[in-house]
């Protein structure tokens, strides 16, 4: 059974094809975090005011996700 995760695309992200088909024991981004990230992004897209706290929260979620993706990629490549 494959693990499910949300994959964010953006500058510096790994290509989805570079990631292993199965990533054991890794939760890339929780549904709660994804929902919160979507809410903040929706506000930004609709030109609504976003607080500094929301921007910080958004940055932390993306950084956490990027670290998990990098770690999974390195494990898949046998580097770690």
Q: Which residue reads 């499910």 in tokens?
A: 4
Query: Which residue, 52, 27, 29, 55, is CA-closest to 41?
Result: 55
What is the C-alpha separation between 57 and 41, in angstroms, rounded? 11
- pTM comes to 0.63
Please report the DSSP string for 51-65 in residue order: -HHHHHHHHHHHHHH
- Express each pLDDT in 3-53 by its tens digit: 445 454 444 444 555 555 555 555 578 889 999 999 999 999 999 999 999
CA distances from 7 to 28, 33, 64 (A): 8, 12, 12
For the cut 90, the answer to whether the pLDDT of residue 70 exceeds it is no
């Amino acid at each position: 059974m494959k693990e499910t995760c949300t994959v964010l695309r953006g500058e510096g992200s790994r290509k989805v094809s570079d990631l292993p088909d199965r990533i054991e024991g890794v939760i890339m981004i929780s549904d709660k975090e994804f929902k919160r990230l979507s809410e903040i992004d929706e506000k930004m897209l609709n030109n609504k005011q976003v607080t500094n706290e929301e921007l910080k929260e958004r940055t932390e979620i993306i950084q956490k996700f990027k670290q998990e993706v990098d770690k999974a990629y390195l494990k898949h490549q046998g580097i770690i």
